[in-house]
């Protein structure tokens, strides 16, 4: 059997590879970088993502590498008063069938790499940058910058927000600069006062600013992301651009002491920034034997924390369709039809949630709108892509 070609060895591409291998479908994963690794940042795995990863046999690995929050809260950006607190712990498995985890992205990436290589030691090719795609009625060929050509039965573009596969299928898009800059860091927990560590995870929404922090790696590190509306600022769409702690301090001047304490604890060489760009949902993801997955198909703003989860859901649905359908084009068409409405809602709701979180929290929480939004998000997370009808 010809392999399924997967372009990109990020979280979505590796989950797709694992899901296919579990079904006896061979894969070739082509990664453009010369070595594997992932961004040094935290990630929230909501139950709709972990239920899929557990279905792929990763429950023990998630338990070893993930932090389950005892509680989650919202504080007022000026006063520090708790606006909402939710007890989490083991209740999410009871409610959703899987827990929520806070993880270091690199740890989750390593878990997936190990799982793929355990089933297919030579499946991942490094230093393979896609430059072209050639398909016909019987298969598809990936053409790489190093001169290698690989033939397969299908090609899945998991190559992220700057996807070459996407540009080949539907043309290069022009993302919209949102005017929002995000700053991130991982702070050693011993640098933080103990009295600011509750709730386990916490957000501070505010006018033109939004701050979120939660622990990773067994509570040894505190991950934070700080969003600021800064339309005249630098606007490069990259996760690896360095920032200064002073720049973050200036953006959050006047915010309550707990926020200031986390920023003050940031190590000088461990602060990064990226500019948020927005994209509209695509009308079509698939052409013949080629399709898109994750950010390549539906890049979204981070205000729902569902970007990686949508890629993980895509991966299991794609694998199930390729296993169930008699032809590759039919499988890709079915995959797209099952995923498009849900991912479109997530893209648009992430955009809207950003508007809410970057606004004055008083009317949002006093009117009950925040509670209604939370109910909608809870319903969205109550979803198991590994068992929906194909």
The pLDDT of residue 112 is 98
Assigned domain for 74 exists: no
Assigned domain for 197 exists: no
The pLDDT of residue 195 is 87
How many angstroms separate the Cα of 70 from the Cα of each of 76, 91, 107? 20, 10, 21
Cα–Cα distance between 159 and 165 in angstroms, integer? 7
Sign of the torsion formed by the C-alpha atoms of 353, 357, 359 and 365: positive
Assigned domain for 145 exists: yes
Assigned domain for 62 exists: yes
Torsion of CA 378, 157, 15, 335, to 10 degrees: 60
Q: Read out DSSP for 349-384?
A: HHHHHHHHHTS-HHHHHHSSHHHHHHHHHHHHHS--
Total domains in the chain come to: 1
The pLDDT of residue 215 is 96
Domain that holds residue 285: 4-68+103-173+280-359
Helices 47-55 and 369-381: crossing angle in degrees, nearest 10, is: 10
The pLDDT of residue 223 is 97
Sign of the torsion formed by the C-alpha atoms of 122, 124, 126 and 132: positive
Residues β-bridged to residue 6: 29, 156
Assigned domain for 24 exists: yes
Assigned domain for 144 exists: yes
- Distance in angstroms between the alpha carbons of the first and the last residue of the chain: 22
For residue 34, give the H/E element and its range: none
The pLDDT of residue 127 is 98
The pLDDT of residue 87 is 87
- Count the neighbouring beta carbons within 10 Å of the beta carbon of residue 114: 12
Per-residue model confidence as pLDDT tens digits over 230-244: 877 666 677 678 999
The pLDDT of residue 6 is 99
With a cut of 70, which residues of the chain have pLDDT below it? Answer: 233-236, 239
Q: Read out DSSP for 201-265?
A: EEEEEETTEEEEEEEETTTTEEEEEEEEE-TTS-----TTEE--HHHHHHHTTT--HHHHHHHHT
Of 215, 235, 236, nearest in space to 224 by CA: 215
Assigned domain for 213 exists: no
What CATH number does residue 332 fall under?
A: 3.50.50.60
Catalytic residues: 214
Assigned domain for 241 exists: no
pTM of the full predicted structure? 0.96
The pLDDT of residue 32 is 97
- Count the neighbouring beta carbons within 10 Å of the beta carbon of residue 269: 9
The pLDDT of residue 121 is 98
| Tokens (6 digits) for 156 | 């899945």
Q: Alpha helix locations (H) across 120-163?
A: none
The pLDDT of residue 91 is 78
């Amino acid at each position: 059997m010809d392999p399924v070609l997967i372009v990109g060895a990020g979280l979505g591409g590796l989950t797709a590879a694992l899901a296919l291998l579990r079904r006896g479908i061979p894969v070739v994963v082509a990664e453009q970088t010369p070595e594997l690794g992932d961004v040094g940042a935290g990630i929230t795995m909501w139950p709709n993502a972990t239920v899929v990863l557990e279905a792929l046999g990763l429950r023990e690995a998630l338990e070893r590498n993930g932090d389950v929050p005892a509680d989650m809260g919202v504080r007022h950006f000026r006063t520090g008063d708790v606006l909402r607190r939710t007890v989490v712990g083991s209740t999410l498995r009871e409610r959703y069938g899987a827990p929520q985890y806070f993880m270091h992205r690199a740890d989750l990436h390593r878990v997936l790499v190990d799982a793929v290589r355990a089933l297919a030691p030579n499946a991942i090719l490094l230093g393979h940058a896609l430059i072209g795609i050639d398909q016909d009625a019987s298969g598809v060929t990936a053409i790489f910058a190093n001169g290698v050509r690989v033939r397969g039965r299908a090609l899945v573009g998991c190559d992220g927000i700057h996807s070459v596969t996407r540009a080949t299928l539907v043309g290069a898009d022009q993302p919209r600069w949102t005017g929002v800059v995000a700053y991130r860091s991982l702070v050693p927990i011993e640098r933080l006062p103990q009295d600011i560590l509750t709730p386990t995870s916490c957000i501070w929404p505010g006018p033109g600013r939004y701050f979120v922090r939660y622990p990773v790696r067994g509570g040894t590190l505190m991950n934070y992301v700080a969003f600021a509306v800064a339309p005249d600022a630098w606007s490069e769409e990259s996760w690896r651009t360095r920032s200064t702690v002073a720049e973050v301090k200036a953006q959050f001047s006047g915010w309550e002491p707990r926020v200031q304490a986390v920023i003050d604890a940031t190590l000088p060489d461990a602060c990064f920034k990226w500019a948020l760009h927005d994209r509209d949902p695509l009308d079509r993801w698939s052409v013949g034997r080629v399709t898109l997955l994750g950010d390549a198909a539906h890049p979204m703003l981070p205000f729902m924390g569902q970007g990686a989860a949508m890629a993980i859901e895509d991966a299991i649905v794609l694998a199930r369709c390729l296993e169930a359908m008699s032809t590759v084009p039919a499988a890709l068409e079915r995959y797209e039809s099952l995923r498009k409405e849900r991912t479109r809602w997530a893209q648009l709701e992430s955009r809207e949630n950003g508007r809410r979180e970057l606004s004055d929290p008083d009317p949002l929480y006093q009117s009950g709108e925040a509670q209604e939004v939370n109910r909608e998000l809870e319903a969205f997370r109550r979803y198991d892509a590994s068992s929906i009808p194909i």
